[in-house]
Amino acid sequence: MRIIVSGGGTGGHIYPALAFSKTVQKLDRQAEILYIGTERGLESKIVPESGIPFQTIDITGLKRKLSIDNVKTVIKFLKGVKESKRIIKEFKPDLVVGMGGYVSAPVVYAASRLNVPSLIHEQNSIPGLTNKLLSRFVDKIAISFEDSARYFPADKVVVTGNPRATEVLGRDGKRGKQSIGLDLEKTTVLIFGGSRGARPINEAVLKILSDFGTRTYQVLYITGEIHYEAVKREAALAGNAENVKIVPFIHNMPEILAGTDLVVSRAGATSISEFTSIGLPSILIPSPYVTNNHQEKNAELLQKANAAVVILEKDLSGKRLLEEIDRIVDEKGRLEQMKKAAKSLGVQDAAYRLYDVCKSLVKENAKK
């Protein structure tokens, strides 16, 4: 099977795309995959490092307000469709898969114009603009949350979950702890705000660094590279608590998650798919700066199932965060209850489900 995968802009689109691609390569040794992204997007660095062939088109996203830039974007979109058609004709894919982000729009649309089977995958509970627009042109729409179905044509929707959920399974948590110098026996709380960090989370954590030093649990605090030096200075002033490990970035996140007992983070769809896949309790602080406030909606789904506690950014403080961490860790049986609740929401075989949908589409097209 030959597949073109497209998606970019943020890790929330790229990492599920790569997880899906790796699963295809694992299940079909003859499969050939081509990833289409942009030169400026995060995918231009991450995808080539994964070893998957990568090509680019020139495209930018639409502004939500009326702007002359949108005229330029429409022109780029049309050029992007033309370029995508050329790539599709050269690669001759059996299927085109759009994983979200504006780069996938011209690629998936070009596939529909060339009568190549196409599918889009939606990671969030509330769909992004690109997938809403593409939904009328594709053959199938794979969703991560059942709540997303109401935004799409019912006859096209299939619930697969997020492919990243499959990739984090079966990792060695002890190895993860050892890699970062953590105590193998202590309850571990992981705090992070994404690859670049999150200033409001960092500000709250800085106020309770010395308090962590009096707790029986240990804390792994991933600051993001931008904030690391400032946080280290503050930690030194607070006395550098022995049970707090501060790092700018983690490259083996699946192993670290496997060794974590409670995580504090934003509520991005990919992160949530990872947490629920392995049954990881969480304190979620949704970013209020994302489109359609989808992170808050994502977080609410976990909170309703008692798999997470949600703190809105406007209500976040060091004191509140410390109280919630202490309450979850100290309350007998609470972590285990939250773990079971989280796991009940997970779709561990998500990547395999998506692969099965792709195979079915290709077979149906072959019969035409």
Based on the domain organization, do 144 and 182 belong to the same domain? Answer: no
Rounded distance, CA 133 to CA 208, Å?
Answer: 45
Based on the domain organization, do 51 and 81 belong to the same domain? Answer: yes
Helical residues (DSSP H) of 28-163, grouped into ranges: 43-50, 68-91, 104-113, 129-134
Domain count for the chain, please give it: 2
CATH number of the domain to which 110 belongs:
3.40.50.2000
Based on the domain organization, do 199 and 339 belong to the same domain? Answer: yes
Based on the domain organization, do 6 and 152 belong to the same domain? Answer: yes
Whether 335 contacts 281, CB under 8 Å: yes
Based on the domain organization, do 327 and 353 belong to the same domain? Answer: no
Based on the domain organization, do 144 and 290 belong to the same domain? Answer: no
For residue 178, the model assigns a pLDDT of 96
Beta carbons within 10 angstroms of residue 53's beta carbon = 12
Based on the domain organization, do 183 and 319 belong to the same domain? Answer: yes
Based on the domain organization, do 151 and 256 belong to the same domain? Answer: no
Binding-site positions for UDP-N-acetyl-alpha-D-glucosamine read 10-12, 124, 195, 250, 295
Based on the domain organization, do 192 and 293 belong to the same domain? Answer: yes
Based on the domain organization, do 124 and 145 belong to the same domain? Answer: yes
Rounded distance, CA 180 to CA 233, Å?
Answer: 20
Nearest-5° Cα angle at 70, 65 to 73:
145
For residue 95, the model assigns a pLDDT of 98
For residue 61, the model assigns a pLDDT of 64
Amino acid at residue number 219: V
For residue 341, the model assigns a pLDDT of 97
Over the chain (368 residues), the average pLDDT of each successive run of 10 is 93 93 96 95 92 92 59 85 97 97 95 98 91 96 94 97 94 96 97 78 92 96 89 88 93 94 95 96 93 88 96 96 98 96 95 97 88
For residue 68, the model assigns a pLDDT of 59
**What DSSP line would sit under 258-274, residue for residue?**
HT-SEEEE---HHHHHH
The pTM assigned to this predicted structure is 0.88
Rounded distance, CA 308 to CA 261, Å?
Answer: 12
Based on the domain organization, do 7 and 99 belong to the same domain? Answer: yes
Binding-site positions read 10-12, 124, 195, 250, 295
Rounded distance, CA 139 to CA 152, Å?
Answer: 12
Nearest-5° Cα angle at 253, 279 to 14:
95
Beta carbons within 10 angstroms of residue 56's beta carbon = 19
Rounded distance, CA 129 to CA 109, Å?
Answer: 14
Write out the residue range of the structural domain in which residue 273 sits: 173-345
Based on the domain organization, do 324 and 182 belong to the same domain? Answer: yes
